[in-house]
Amino acid sequence: MPNYVMFIDQDKCTGCNACRIACQTQWGLPPEMNYNFLIEQERGKYPNVERLIIPMQCQHCDNPPCLTVCPTGATYKRDDGIVLVDPKKCIGCKYCMIACPYNVRIINEQGVPEKCRFCAEYVTNGETPACVSTCMNDVRVFGDLDDPNSPLHDLLKEHELMQMREDLKTRPRIYYAQSKRG
């Protein structure tokens, strides 16, 4: 069974939004809805200011708070680590939205709090998530953490890594290269 994770090197991100647009197109989302987005930060003091862009999406946590609060089991985690939502089980209570420390859920047209799915339907068939395959700067790399032949495996060894809100012990499955800026 694969053990899917994503590596993100935000120092390579130029803020082009191709990842967001590819995801919106892939899933037929209207322009105002997206499963991933960019957080922009400025670091430094004038005149030495740098812009850092951090790609953000569902972190597909190993210990997902959204799963533990779901009263119907609509939010669930597959054996490969991907966290999904079963719209047939969802009652629209939005507990998952409140529990998510990453603020990445959106309400779709049916009232279901949706989020990034790591393109599970495509990954199962050996394809790559749309946000990964569209990025012209190789900001994102997706793969099986347990595959020693994966380019992802080497990237995780080569970089100093961080995860979003490590203090919350959600154990995200997205690893960010520690920024070398500022």
pLDDT digits (tens, 9 = 90+) for 68-93: 999 999 999 999 999 999 999 999 99
Which residues lie closer than 8 Å to 180 by C-beta, 6 or more apart?
11
The pLDDT value given to residue 50: 87
Domains and CATH numbers, the chain: 4-177 (3.30.70.20)
Please tell me the predicted confidence (pLDDT) of residue 26: 94
Listed in order, strand segments (DSSP E) in 2-123 are 4-8, 36-45, 48-57, 75-77, 83-85, 106-107, 113-114
User: Which pTM value belongs to this model?
Assistant: 0.92
What's the rounded Cα separation, in Å, for the pair 122 and 120? Answer: 5
